[in-house]
């Protein structure tokens, strides 16, 4: 059970904070039944059934070289995400954003659950992109029918020109979306009074940087995770528990 005193401490810090950043990773969606992927789409802890590391199979170069093979693993991601729904933590975060007009979400997740739960898109930074809609790599036409394509032969093809479709997801060996990075840097430049990390190891530099900046500037930092990470000891508060349970309890005190 999470220490009630620590929950109240975090709730008080968030209540008094004006600018808040909530960083979310795969552990947040674990309560929705999704696997906690290793990296972006790390479905396997080793070789895929095709004898390739997931970092190779689910990469930008593989999508260009063998789109059918790459789409085999994109489809597994898509079916997992479309087969589940936002959990109580996603809804609690959206509620906090309604209460705090300068509360932002920076997510590594591509499942779209923050949007589905009601987080305002204008205060949501999906740093690894999102699964839908698809777009054509040849003519850039959009296609909203992700779920329909998953039941058809892969890779999905563009109705306009016959080119290979893809999601706006950052695959291995690809750059992060420029607009998302620009928004993140603009908001970090304004500073955050509190940063809450949920369900992530915060191992990527662009995820770790907001935490480091908050600490240097005297902001409050807290983490929610089932087990401690490399960053836990440096946080003002570490809450050990499931995101869905902890976030519900936390927001009820704000």
Question: Mind telling me the catalytic residues?
Answer: 128
Q: Is the Cα dihedral 121, 122, 128, 130 positive or negative?
A: positive
The crossing angle, in degrees rounded to 10, of helices 178-190 and 205-216 is 10
Tally Cβ neighbours within 10 Å of residue 240: 16
Q: Which residues contact 49 (CB under 8 A, 6 or more apart)?
A: none
Going by the DSSP 8-state scheme, the letter that residue 233 receives in this structure is: G
DSSP reduced 3-state for 225: strand
Q: Is residue 155 reached through a cis peptide bond, with omega within 30 degrees of 0 on the bond before it?
A: yes
Is residue 198 within 8 A of residue 24, CB to CB? The reply is: yes
Contacts 24+ apart (CB under 8 A), 123-127: 123/97, 125/180, 125/183, 125/184, 125/187, 126/180, 127/170, 127/176, 127/177, 127/180, 127/181, 127/184, 127/206, 127/207
Q: Cα 221 from chain centroid?
A: 19
């Amino acid at each position: 059970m999470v220490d009630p005193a620590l929950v109240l401490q975090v709730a008080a810090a968030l209540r008094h904070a004006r600018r808040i950043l909530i960083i979310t990773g795969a552990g947040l969606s674990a309560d929705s039944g999704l696997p906690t992927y290793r990296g972006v789409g790390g479905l396997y802890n080793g070789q895929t059934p095709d004898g390739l590391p997931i970092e190779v199979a689910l990469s930008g170069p593989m999508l260009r070289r063998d789109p059918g093979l790459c789409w085999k693993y994109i489809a597994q991601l898509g079916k997992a995400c479309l087969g589940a729904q936002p959990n109580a933590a996603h809804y609690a975060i959206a509620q906090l954003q309604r209460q705090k007009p300068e509360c932002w979400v920076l997510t590594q997740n591509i499942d779209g659950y923050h949007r589905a739960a009601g987080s305002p898109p204008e205060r949501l930074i999906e740093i690894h992109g999102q699964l839908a809609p698809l777009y054509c790599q040849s003519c850039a036409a959009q296609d909203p029918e992700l779920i329909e394509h998953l039941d058809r032969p892969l890779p999905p093809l563009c109705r306009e020109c016959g080119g290979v479709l893809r999601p706006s997801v950052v695959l291995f060996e690809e750059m992060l979306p420029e607009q998302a990075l620009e928004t993140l840097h603009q908001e970090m430049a304004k500073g955050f009074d509190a940063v809450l990390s949920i369900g992530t190891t915060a191992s990527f530099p662009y995820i770790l940087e907001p935490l480091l900046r908050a600490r240097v500037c005297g902001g409050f930092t807290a983490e929610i995770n089932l087990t401690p990470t490399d960053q836990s000891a440096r946080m003002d508060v570490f809450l050990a528990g499931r995101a869905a349970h902890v976030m519900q309890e936390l927001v009820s005190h704000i």
